[in-house]
């Protein structure tokens, strides 16, 4: 009788070796001893350290390629247990058929099955499914544990730049402030919020301060609310996405974080550098000359006892205005907008109503998407069952799987995107109402940068003093619609101009975002 030949295959992943004590050497010894006792010649040996979720493994692909080029080279492909071969029932059946066509019989020496007997396919399904069930259960427990920790405000992943991973007295994972890099991270947010330098310039300067970060990771850092004390919990099953207050020490304030996001989204202007900017001249670079249409600059003239500031054009043109008076004209415009309380409240209620209506529509859409997800998963499950029953060809199953898995991933991605968008809308609404109701305070009491931000938000285009006085300056369209009410919503006619509008920025800035929100 001709001696049978076998290729032995051993596989282990890092997690399995750590959790269960699996060893490649142990598997090899067991397989070689089995072949020696059974009188089977070992003609090939392959060892793998990849997961068995798919057959996209380097060594198994080499093995399969070799068998296709050398048909009938071996009679058996031997491994210790069926979970060493695969953890996916559908893929396993497909690969068994492929090997059989190459005249190779796959077999687990500790779980031997004669697959020519139809009933043994039930046992094969059990051997293949049991490890997958165990993995799924472990994954669910892990997800639940991670979400529970995040809801408690604990960060259990790798610490973001500026923090260090640590353990508390109960041996739970926490993060502590990195004394070396935390000041650099704080400096990054402050510099971006100033709106003077580009993010890339600031990233390069941060590298000089030993904050080594790739361009993509740098932008992830800037957009991470973790630095202002918030932890984002994504939507999962019936739970909606939410932000929770972390127990870690924030490196920056919420107002600084949201101010930075405004700069990064392009909704804030770049202004003069700190070396050239003057608190008495917040409108320098914003005003146009009424005579020649050129851009007005600003400077100080030295008097007998003090300096006097002016906005002026070139000496040839000769246009010149007292800075304090011009600043008051713009301040009157801000006060006029903020006085439209009824219009602002109407905007708030209308937008809230729209948001709630939109929320219902979004929820209905999400419910429809969830139904589609379940429907496509059911189709995939039915196809798998038909494959196990032998009613569906493995090639047809693979085609079905390749068709529906991307659809399911796309639908699940849409669910997450709509939830996050709704949270963003609600936050912008709160900020918008606060901004309009406190516009005069932000302009009069803010520091230089805040004053310039406010003016740039209300008047997106440069304008002349004549247009400002005649109220014909081009205003932001959104502001015009919200705070330029009709006759039924006229603001108070008795409002008084702020005469203390020298616009000194000695008062501490209030920020663009209220700390109470």
Residues labelled as active-site residues: 13
- SS3 (DSSP) at 105: strand
How many CB atoms are closer than 10 A to CB 113? 17
Contact status, residue 425 vs residue 479, Cβ threshold 8 Å:
no
Nearest to 263 by CA among 197, 204, 329: 197
Half-sphere exposure for 138 (CA within 13 Å, toward CB): 9
In Å, what is the CA distance from 147 to each residue of 133, 154, 176, 243? Answer: 21, 10, 20, 12
In Å, what is the CA distance from 294 to each residue of 139, 168, 280, 314, 327? Answer: 65, 63, 21, 9, 19
CB within 8 A of 133, min separation 6: which ones? Answer: none
What tokens does 75 get?
A: 């009679």
Residues 496, 498, 503, CA angle at the centre, nearest 5°?
A: 165
CB within 8 A of 343, min separation 6: which ones? Answer: 482, 483, 484, 485, 489, 491
| CA distance linking residue 152 with residue 503, whole number of Å | 45
Alpha helices in 51-119 (DSSP H): 58-69, 82-85, 89-101
| CA distance linking residue 321 with residue 319, whole number of Å | 7
- Strands 76-79, 105-108: pairing kind: parallel
DSSP string spanning 132-162? HHHHHHHHHHHHHHHHHHHHTT---SSPPTT
């Amino acid at each position: 009788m001709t001696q049978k030949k076998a290729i032995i295959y051993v596989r282990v992943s890092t997690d399995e070796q750590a959790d269960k004590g699996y060893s490649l050497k142990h598997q090899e010894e067991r397989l070689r001893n089995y072949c020696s006792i059974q009188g089977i010649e070992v003609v090939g040996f392959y060892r793998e350290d990849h997961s068995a979720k798919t057959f996209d493994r380097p060594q198994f692909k080499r093995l399969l390629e070799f068998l296709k080029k050398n048909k009938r080279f071996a009679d058996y492909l031997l491994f210790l247990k069926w979970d060493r071969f695969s953890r996916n029932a559908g893929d396993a059946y497909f690969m068994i058929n492929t090997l059989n066509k190459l005249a190779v019989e796959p077999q687990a020496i500790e779980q031997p099955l004669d697959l020519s007997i139809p009933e043994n396919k039930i046992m094969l399904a059990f051997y293949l499914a049991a490890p997958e069930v165990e993995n799924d259960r472990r994954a669910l427990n892990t997800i639940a544990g991670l979400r529970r920790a995040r809801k408690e405000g604990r960060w259990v992943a790798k610490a973001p730049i500026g923090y260090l991973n640590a353990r508390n007295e109960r041996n739970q994972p926490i993060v502590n402030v990195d004394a070396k890099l935390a000041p650099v991270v704080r400096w990054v947010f402050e510099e971006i919020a100033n709106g003077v330098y580009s993010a890339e310039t600031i990233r390069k300067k941060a590298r000089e301060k030993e904050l080594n970060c790739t361009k993509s990771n740098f932008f992830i850092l800037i957009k991470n609310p973790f630095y202002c004390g918030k932890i984002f919990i994504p939507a999962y099953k019936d739970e909606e996405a939410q932000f929770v207050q972390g127990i870690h020490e924030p490196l920056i304030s919420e107002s600084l974080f949201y101010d930075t996001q405004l700069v990064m989204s392009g909704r804030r202007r770049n202004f003069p550098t700190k070396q050239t900017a003057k608190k008495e001249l917040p409108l320098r670079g914003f005003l146009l000359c009424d005579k020649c249409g050129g851009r007005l600059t600003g400077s100080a003239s030295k008097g007998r006892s003090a300096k006097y500031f002016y906005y002026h054009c070139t000496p040839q043109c000769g246009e010149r205005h007292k800075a304090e008076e011009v600043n008051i004209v713009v301040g009157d415009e801000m006060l006029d907008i903020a006085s439209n309380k009824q219009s602002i409240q109407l905007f708030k209620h209308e937008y809230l109503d729209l948001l709630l209506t939109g929320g219902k529509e979004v929820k209905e859409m999400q419910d429809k998407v969830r139904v589609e997800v379940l429907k496509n998963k059911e189709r995939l499950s039915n196809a798998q069952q038909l494959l196990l029953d032998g009613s569906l060809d493995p090639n047809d199953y693979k085609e079905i799987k390749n068709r529906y898995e991307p659809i399911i991933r796309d639908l699940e991605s849409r669910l997450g995107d709509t939830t996050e968008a709704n949270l963003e809308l609600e936050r912008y609404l709160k900020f918008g109402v606060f901004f309009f109701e406190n516009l005069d305070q932000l302009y009069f009491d803010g520091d230089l940068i805040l004053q310039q931000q406010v003016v740039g938000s209300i008047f997106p285009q440069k304008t002349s003093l004549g247009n400002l006085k005649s109220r014909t300056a081009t205003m932001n369209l959104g502001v015009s619609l919200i705070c330029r009410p009709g006759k039924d919503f006229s603001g108070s006619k008795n409002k008084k101009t702020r005469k203390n509008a020298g616009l000194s920025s000695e008062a501490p800035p209030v920020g663009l975002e209220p700390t109470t929100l």
